[in-house]
Structure 1
């Protein structure tokens, strides 16, 4: 037994119970340390000379410790408490025993006894975390939040890997939120998510804090993560929809509110929010339908509903109904914005006196309402002629030479009558007096735009919108400017807001351009049609509508509009666009003629060279296309698209060594680009360097996980190696991916699998896959060849011959899938 004492003890943590020891035995040890000398050692009894001193055994070997552990494990708290009480009598300073008993007291809600044990434990071992965790949790249960926060923060600092850390961080974060210490709450929530990245509560709570702090991108990430875990979390869906609206991602916001309404059909709050999104998307009828649906649920027709419906009626040009709603809303809340809305309707209806009365009322409610003041000046301008207006403004400025409003309005009139120098002088003077005069900024931006000084114009409009964020003129002009600067997302936001307020032909034209760029072609055509109704003779609108028709694949209509546009102005862009129309109509001769004309005008235009390179490739002139791309590569040696096109064409022309060099350079720039990795592997496949290709793809899978592209490419290489089993495994995995119906990867996978089935003499399965591939891509060479072979083997010679004839047709574009 003495030897047992001398063995090296295995360390145990406070939370991991040791193995059950043997029953207590008296241990005898003749060493001089730790000996308790019995009283009978001091008597003169001869027999006492042979009695050995009794030693206090370590707690780890105590049977009581083992019994307590067993009771704790079995959740037998009363038995555990009994054992721990006895154990603590013998070992009053043992940290683990005190903490164990404190936890049992916590479960039994004997908080005072628990705190006593924990205080003693902390006093004995202040650097350990467990007692702080338990005490902090007890303080939280007893609503002593300050003490709880202090203890739990201390515990986390000492041991962030404790099993209680997750709950403790949640408690600390909630306390921080209650105390409005949001930055500290974010720190705790982030720590919590480092431990448990899928904690729904933490993701949602952090996202809500980010949202309140207007950190919308961060909030969006948290809501996306939340919904990836719980796709039907309605609160998260609602918040994400609101975030998308704040970010002007209206389509994404619409998807979220649609999803919310599928989960809770007919919810009035979601219907109202979706109606607002419809309005922002100019889908006024859909918005109105939602308002009518929510009114069927007998909700109170409050200010928000009236205001939203009034705005929708305004967008639908149902001005009398908008007027009624704004009037009803003004009775609910005396807000200057409602009077401004109604004034605008009066202005549209040319009831300028009523508009002026409402604007005066709005200014009484909020004298600093900048957009009201701006609209008022517009109404006054509508009531006067230019000469009379100039006379009145000159009179005003003679008395008040620093009147910025008068200076701005006079500058506007000077611009209208083409006195640009005088206009700029007045506007600069106004801004030197008051740099925040939004009218002067707006009117000066128009002058800069006339002179194509777009950055200066944008700077003025940005500054104006900081001052007056809802002014329709400023929004319209910035939207037009964004369109000229090819910033289409921003343009749509501004033009949508503007056109809800004023139906203007240039705003319609520029919104049409923006909608066309965003592939909302039907809406764009409506805008162009409406713009031509207002202004029927405009080469620019014909050009823009022609481009929209082209993008929506209505090529005959596009050609008609572009021909009309060129009657007004023979410009390079119109020729380039008409070339694209000819290209789609397979009229490559006229297409190249127009493109050559453009390049003659702009010989060093990289964009134009790219278009011609694409046109050459489309007409199967691969060598000419490659020449253009290589010329572009000299100007843009690190452009990813340029490198990909050069490498791809070199591959198509079987110049494998050169292609490999290009993709080597491309992969250095983007090591995880799947397209580059797959092309690189395909080149190695053509060079019969199969093992290298397989290794590259396998490494990519290890780094990026399961990707359809990688499975298809590796499956094709296994097929070339004759490893049909491995190839089928990869192709089957690829075909499990849910991709869009027109995706070429799945077509390739069906082709390769069908080819393997044919090699394995599984002709029925092969035909099934090949037919699917040809349904998706009727000109697929591999599928046609393989199906022809099967038909030939089955003595269906006519069918086999039809497939071969199609393959040999000179009009068939070379397919991306190589035939080997």
Structure 2
């Protein structure tokens, strides 16, 4: 169409017809307000054009006439429709036609600028809007549009100046509303927050606060400007019950900043009701609960937020770590703070971790973190204060010593010497402490108490008791001295006296440490129930005492209250960082519960901490780990642990017994024999044991002699094997044998007489078969199979039935050696009818196949050989 009209348009341009001089006053009005009239005009023209072809031609020609008022021009009307329908390309095509008719018309230029801006062609839009402004400087619509275009192009300062001019010139223009909003954003970007707030409030007043997003933005500007009071007042007057969750959150933040915590909590509660799945609300509410010292609710909110998928970023972990710290769950606090520091290094986070380390008495680590905190933020007053406090704490003894030395240089004072001796004792400089006490030459209770404490630390309990009794003579009513006497007697293994003095001390004054030592004494006296009562009293006086919790856990474990024991250990772990004793105790409890993997993990941690501290784990740690590794068939690792146990405690019967069995299992027969001999050398005959204990101990002796015989058998030392078995058979109730060591934890099977009753004749049979005395071997096997022949104490239990399979297999092999094939087949058939996992059935199949071949039954022999292959695979 445009190509068709170009010649005509060129002609019109040559005539220099200006559109503005041709339009009427009606044309000068805003064309947007005349759309209806122009559309009616178009309809009239269309209705007239249907009446006559000549009129149609006139109507078509009128499209190319610039003498038609712009507001009535059909192309103009159509372009407005296209703009309203957001069909900007079609609108631009129509406006291109109009600009050729009305080359300098303000409205056409304005519309073209508007369309270009809508299409994102802001540079072209800027050119058109500049032309529009020049064509009619009195109108401000183009100025507002010009500001928006500059804003879109990033010319922020120019945009702001343009808006300023437009708003100054025509503040009541309909476009002024959006201009206020845009200028507010521009003012905010250049840091003019007060101007931004003023513009946004004017904008919101003009639209009756209907733009809730802008209400939120205005609130955020108040927040960024730290004008909390004004921001809170602004939102309190505007926020409605039907507002979004975000506006209530923002209101809550303002209330929090103003330290109006109840109001803040109310806003956050409303926000949570509106959107229960918004984790940010919970995190904000947790902050209020933290500030109001309701730490349990704070933790609950944070855990709920985490379950809703709130990102565990540095800020969240730091918040939760602080809550754990206040709840005295120091290990959990440390985990979260470490996680926060991995994500983001921050001065305040290092300060928090320093406080946690101090609670674990890791002062060096705490000071190191405070140094890092101050390197990142030299103005961190909290870190400065803590560093000074912790440094003074670490150097307290040195400072006290400096002061006392300075005072003693001026004049001799016996009391000052006693004070210095106390400082030396705290620093473990016992020789210096003793010298000061001697030089003081005082004979009062205080001096003798110091002597008593120094000698106790040196494990010289007799000297300690001597001085403490002198102190008690000088001050008979002192519960402190009685408590110290109880402790010394405890360390000297005189538990009855320890109990006596500790009770006397507690009769005068409840003291946590006295209850603790009384509990430990009751434990060693074999009364864990009373021990728990005393530990409970100790914890009432001092609730946060990991040592008492560990000891109570041990007492509960002795009573087989394993779950309660684990709870105590978990609680102790919250107050004790990397405590090897806790991990060791947990490992032992898990082992008793049969939770071997958890036990192994805890024991490994305990041993690792010991290694870091250059200390040695307890015997029980290695012993239990050795047993767990043995259960897992990790024989070499288990053997190493048994060796470590015996390095620490060469007389440990449990380790010797289990290592001997393990050596038998891995075919180290000589080493097994050495272990069993070592155990048997530790017996001694005494006459004061009760019959009840002798039963178990004699079964142990029998079992050891049997195992020793088994070792001899594998070493082909058959005579020695028979000698050991003969000795085992002679052990009886009348010999009144006892042992110098505790066998209570050795292999539980020793408590059943059937073990030795079966194994002694069974091992004899193996030995006599090896030396080809088959009749004697058969006689021993028959004693097992037919109890009326001598083994009267056998029980028809699972162990007996399993061993009976082995007996039948061995007897079948002996019959085979003797050529009694029919009898051999009967025994082999009996074994294979009740095949057991413990029996190597392939050996029986193999033996039976030989007999079947010998008697000519090749078909059955081949079947057995096939089974041998299947079982072996």
Larger Rg: 2
TM-score normalised to the size of structure 1? Answer: 0.35
